[in-house]
């Protein structure tokens, strides 16, 4: 059985590469958000401390002293495969891979080990994920109540920045998130948009889903079939509608080739599946708020009938 995407509230977290400058900074941010980070691992740096947390030489050493459920990897792309495999072989079952441009054959190798061990991989090239109130994993401003707040909307995004903007607009509209999952912008990722929306739709408290997609790949089209089966309203925003074919826009996976992965195709597939496709992040948030308000009125009328 594959591990869930979203961690439980008591799921303890390890930071691989914690002694690096960016990792140290974001470890502090994760702790300020209330994330239960318990340790770090950096080869040759065992015995040190970062933000008051113990640092171990290996993941194996860390899990011998702590009950680690999730590891966030602040590793360069060239080292991500070995670090991910080390974590899974040590028994860590949920990984957040932040590095961009991880070689495709390395990702395939990581996923083979994930299938064998029942592990869940989010990324690579993800900004991370947030469960408001319990976990901010990666390089997400989860400490800010203006961006992430407990609420009824599950958000799935290939882009960390656009996903964060959507979450900000949701909070501005008086809503919040059950969880945010950044699936990542590389051509091959461990968790797909479809897998993420299916799990988020089943989270307690989720009453709507927002999909933030972009040109390139077919994840949004693949997710459309799942959208048609959900019992909650779905709103989507597709970035890069003006991207010329054959030119990468932002993420490594944001490129239209061979007539596949166009914005038009994604909009059509999601619309046909019953999602409302908004033209801007702000309109997406307003649309979600309207759908939930309508649902509340219908439920209130049903109860009074």
Query: Among all residues, which ones are annotated catalytic?
Result: 251
CA distances from 111 to 107, 120, 171 (A): 6, 9, 35
Give a three-class secondary structure readout of 162-196.
Answer: HHHHHHHHHHHCCCCEEEEEECCCCCCCCCCHHHH
Asked whether the beta carbons of 5 and 195 are under 8 A apart, the reply is yes
Find the DSSP H helices in 146-280: 160-172, 193-202, 219-227, 263-272
- What residues contact 247, with CB distance under 8 A and at least 6 apart? 255
66-104 b/e with 16+ CB inside 10 Å = b?
Answer: bebbbbbbbbebebbbebbbbbbebebbbbbbbbbebee
The encoded tokens of residue 176 equal 């919040």
First to last CA, the chain: 44
């Amino acid at each position: 059985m594959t591990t869930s995407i979203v961690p439980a509230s008591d799921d303890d977290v390890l930071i691989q590469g914690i002694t690096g400058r960016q990792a140290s900074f974001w470890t502090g941010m994760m702790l300020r958000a209330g994330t239960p980070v318990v340790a770090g691992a950096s080869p040759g740096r065992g015995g040190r401390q970062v933000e008051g947390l113990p640092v171990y030489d290996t993941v194996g050493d860390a899990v011998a002293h702590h009950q680690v459920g999730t590891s966030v990897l602040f590793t360069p792309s060239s080292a991500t495969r070995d670090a991910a495999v080390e974590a899974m072989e040590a028994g860590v079952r949920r990984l957040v891979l932040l590095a961009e441009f991880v070689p495709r054959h390395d990702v395939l190798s990581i996923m083979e080990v994930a299938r064998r061990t029942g592990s869940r991989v989010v990324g690579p090239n993800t900004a991370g994920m947030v469960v408001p109130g319990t976990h901010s994993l990666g390089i997400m401003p989860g400490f800010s109540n203006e961006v992430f707040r407990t609420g009824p909307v599950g958000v799935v995004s290939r882009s960390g920045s656009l996903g964060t903007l959507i979450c900000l607009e949701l909070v501005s509209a008086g809503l919040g998130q059950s969880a945010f999952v950044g699936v990542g912008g590389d051509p091959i990722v461990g968790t797909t948009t479809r897998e993420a929306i299916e799990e988020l739709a089943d989270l307690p408290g989720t009453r709507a889903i927002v999909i933030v997609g972009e040109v390139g790949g077919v994840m949004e089209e693949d997710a459309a079939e799942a959208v048609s089966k959900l019992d909650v309203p779905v709103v989507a925003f597709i970035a890069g509608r003006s991207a010329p074919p054959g030119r990468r826009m932002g993420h490594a996976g944001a490129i239209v080739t061979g007539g596949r992965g166009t914005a038009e195709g994604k909009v059509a597939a999601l619309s046909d599946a019953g999602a409302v496709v908004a033209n801007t992040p702000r309109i997406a948030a307003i649309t979600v708020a309207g759908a939930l308000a309508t649902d509340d009125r219908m439920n209130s009328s049903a109860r009074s009938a």
